[in-house]
Amino acid sequence: MKLLHTSDWHLGRGFHGADLRETQLEMMRTVCSAVTEHQIDVVLVSGDVFDRALPPEWAVRELGQCLRALREAGAQVVMTSGNHDSAVRLGFNRELIAQSGVHIRSGLDDAWTPVELAGDGERLLVYGVPYLEPQVYAEQLGLDRAHHSAVMAEVVSRIHADVAARRVAKDGAALRVIVMAHVFADRGQASESERNIGAPAVPERTLEHHEDSAGGLAVVPLEVFDGFDYVALGHLHGRQRLSDRVRYSGAPIRYSFSEDKQDKGAWLIDSTELDDAAAAVTALDWDLGREVVRLQGDIQDILDLERVKRFQEAFLQITLTDDERPERAYNRLREAYPHVMQYRYAGAGLNRSGQSFAQRLHTAQSEVEVVAGFLEHVRDRSVTQQELNAVTSALDAVRTQNTGERA
């Protein structure tokens, strides 16, 4: 059988205030097209289907249409709840829906109850582990400590026990075991757009499991997943290979600027080839929505006509490094790039602003210097001669008015 591993759709999410509805619809159409093109038998969605517990109505409606299209294309679907989803809402009527070939795993007992599929002399057991908050489920699992590593280790031990029982109970068909989980796994690299689930993730850095800290225990060691043919992870937004058999599909869409260099798409798995996992798994690359770009430099370079032409339609994060903060910088950038989402100044002028305004006030020798010092302090830019003339004229006008009133 062929499987498509995807996750973290985050339906209903935007990008720094921009609406991503059309891009998310395109993403669901792309998944459906991949099923048809590659003759996918099973679609795995490893959590964070929606972006919040109460998703917008359109997202619920369009997900339903997508699931229907996937079934019409011949694929069964196994979907788990993530930390952004409401497990109860996503799992509504899951027993009834399963009869249509859409299997939603959103409860604790679901974690070690597989979706069992068969075809061409092969049996496939898919264990969909929903996101399990340790503080909620540790006691139910009989654990003394409530952290992600302990919860996942206990769940996996129950999965292994279930697999062993099923191996004995069935005929000699080849058995493949797939596990889906929504966790922060050892050696995974985070981005800005993932919600904290116990690990103090730093964007664009990898985290490792540590026994001596709460944050380290929130990172699940890869050894927990030993013994399975493939582990389809969700939560981290970059498509990543942690080992040949343990992988993140990542979010198909870029949801933060820290994802600008991440591979986006899904994993295609041929279950008949899983004796050699490296050969069995193929990357599917998808380019969805606007490009996400981080630009840094002085304003003259960033407003270069060729650069503007290249990035005018992208979502942009712009960092200016001019020696002085350019006048009307944001307005000028927004005129050239209509989709500037983040802007900051990080030039040498910030160093000059290290002197407090109180210090500038103490050294000022005239009212003009007081005002000029204030302007330079708040704008990180020198006062122009035109501005000095305006300040001088204003102060002269005030003095004249005060003199007339006293007379």
Rounded Cα gap, residues 354 and 36, in angstroms: 60
The DSSP secondary-structure symbol of 273 reads: G
Tell me the sheet residues that pair with 189: 206
Last residue of a domain, one of 264, 285, 306: 285
Comparing 225 with 386, which gets the higher pLDDT?
225
Structure confidence at residue 43 (pLDDT): 98
Per-residue pLDDT band at 392 (split at 50, 70, 90): confident
Q: Is residue 219 domain-shared with residue 262, that is, in the same domain?
A: yes
Last residue of a domain, one of 347, 364, 390: 347
Q: Write down the mean pLDDT value for the chain.
A: 89
Q: Tens digit of pLDDT for each residue in 255-303?
A: 999 999 999 999 999 999 999 999 999 999 999 999 999 999 999 999 9
Question: What is the domain count for the chain?
Answer: 3
With left for phi above 0 and alpha for psi between -120 and 50, is residue 164 left, alpha or beta?
A: alpha
Q: Tens digit of pLDDT for each residue in 28-44?
A: 999 999 999 999 999 99
Q: Is residue 281 domain-shared with residue 299, that is, in the same domain?
A: no
Q: Is residue 338 domain-shared with residue 191, that is, in the same domain?
A: no
Give the range among 163-177, 339-353, 376-390 with minimum mean pLDDT: 376-390
Q: Is residue 217 domain-shared with residue 328, that is, in the same domain?
A: no
The parent domain of residue 363 ranges over 352-407
Q: Which positions ≥6 away from 120 have C-beta within 8 Å?
A: 1, 272
Please say whether the beta carbons of 138 and 151 come within 8 A.
yes
- CB-count burial class (<10 Å; 0-12, 13-18, 19+) for 309: exposed
Q: Is residue 97 domain-shared with residue 157, that is, in the same domain?
A: yes
DSSP states of 219-245: EEPGGGGTT-SEEEEESSSS-EESSSS
Q: Is residue 167 domain-shared with residue 261, that is, in the same domain?
A: yes
Q: Is residue 154 domain-shared with residue 132, that is, in the same domain?
A: yes
Q: Would strands 102-105 and 340-345 be described as parallel, antiparallel, or unpaired?
A: unpaired
| Helix/strand/coil for 47 | coil
Tokens coding 336: 């050239």
Tokens coding 306: 């060729």
**Between helices 367-379 and 385-406, what is the axis angle to 10°?**
140
Q: Tens digit of pLDDT for each residue in 98-137?
A: 999 999 999 999 999 999 998 777 899 999 999 999 999 9
Q: Is residue 84 domain-shared with residue 117, that is, in the same domain?
A: yes
Taking alpha carbons only, the member of 183, 197, 178 closest to residue 78 is: 178
Q: Is residue 67 domain-shared with residue 211, that is, in the same domain?
A: yes
Distances (CA, A) of 72 to 11, 64, 68, 96: 21, 12, 6, 18
The DSSP secondary-structure symbol of 272 reads: G
